[in-house]
Chain A
Amino acid sequence: MSTAQIHIHRAVMDDSLREAAATRAWLAERRLKMFNFIGSPGAGKTALLEALADALAGRLKFAVIEGDCATARDAERVAARGISAIQIVTGDGCHLPAAAVHQALADLPGGMDCILVENVGNLVCPAAFDIGETAKIAVLSVTEGEDKPLKYPGLFRKAGALVLTKTDLLPHLRFNMDTCRQAIRQINSAAPLFELSAKTGTGVAALADWLQAQTNPILQA
């Protein structure tokens, strides 16, 4: 018995990429932007969305898609700030699948300017799966240590913007901000870096301004 070679040259993420492309087309039709917030559990992603709800109130209408392995706690937290939020429960899934995000789009209210997605807390897997977002936003808290970008370069390389959270805790930590900035720049030399505290509000405005500029470039002109 001999063997035959069948050359197929087909993307491993075939299905996932198709769903992501469908989401991208859906967003383009409605002139909507979508930002995919990715970071470890406890990096402060939900607190950041809460702070953005306050900072963007009255100037940018956004809805939130939340991803977690269990519970609707994050969607409830965001909804408490008057933001429309949809929770996707992934069970054992370590990231938000493109298909689940695409399905959730149908449940979003109209009249939005953009969609903020909070992916499942994880520095690795969510970065590997395109969900059709305009940009990935890497979220790292200063309590995680300044070397994390070098240890998990995938996310930091792909991110269109980088956020360092919990800067109010810096006086209590050994965290070296320059070392961290340098680590980030070795991986991603171009994306804007926002250093902020969702708790005190310091630095949140700069990220809010950036999101608005990305969302409404025409109105800005």
Chain B
Amino acid sequence: MHEVSICQGLVKVVLDELTQRAIGAGRLKRVRVVAGQLHQLVPDSLTFAYELLTRDTPAAGSQLDLRMPPLLAQCPGCGWNGAIEPPVFLCEACGAGVEITGGDELFVEALEIDDL
């Protein structure tokens, strides 16, 4: 449900990079995005929003390549660390509340363009 809003930010970053680097329309083939599991993005919704929002822009026709790192946590109490499954943010070993150590990323990693 929040994919469209998040995608607006994503497309803005992509178009800004294309402008800054003077990369013309049609040359962008793929955008690699890292969105940790904490953001609970639905890949299909994000892809749909991306196609819609890049239509009639220099990024039109490019593909979204989404990587979703798992949610990792560490227990401040007993030192346990490992992957957790939302919505439960408790330590598997001792039941205390955990601190997130990974899976909260949300960034554009790379652009793949046709090399002229």
Does A pair with B? yes
Total number of B residues with any Cβ neighbor in A under 8 Å:
35
Q: Quick one: which of A15, A128, A189, A190 contacts B6, CB cutoff 8 A? A: A128
Q: In the docked arrangement, what's the CA distance between A16 and B110, Å?
A: 20
The interface centre, meaning the residue of B5, B13, B38, B40 with most chain A CB atoms within 10 A of its CB, is B5
When distances are taken between beta carbons in the complex, the residues of chain A under 8 Å from B39 are 128, 154
When distances are taken between beta carbons in the complex, the residues of chain B under 8 Å from A185 are 97
For chain A, the bracket of interface size reads 35 or more
Tell whether B1 is near chain A: CB-to-CB under 8 Å. yes
The interface centre, meaning the residue of B6, B29, B33 with most chain A CB atoms within 10 A of its CB, is B6
When distances are taken between beta carbons in the complex, the residues of chain B under 8 Å from A14 are 9, 12-13
When distances are taken between beta carbons in the complex, the residues of chain B under 8 Å from A175 are none
Query: Considering the complex, which residues of chain B in the window 22-53 have a beta carbon less than 8 Å from any beta carbon of chain A?
Result: 29-30, 33, 35, 38-40
A contact patch SS:
mixed
When distances are taken between beta carbons in the complex, the residues of chain A under 8 Å from B89 are 153, 157, 186-189
When distances are taken between beta carbons in the complex, the residues of chain B under 8 Å from A128 are 2, 5-6, 39
5 contacts between A and B (CB under 8 A): A9-B110, A12-B107, A12-B108, A186-B88, A187-B88
Residues of B participating in the A interface, judged by any CB pair closer than 8 Å? 1-2, 5-6, 9-10, 12-13, 17, 21, 29-30, 33, 35, 38-40, 86-90, 96-97, 106-116
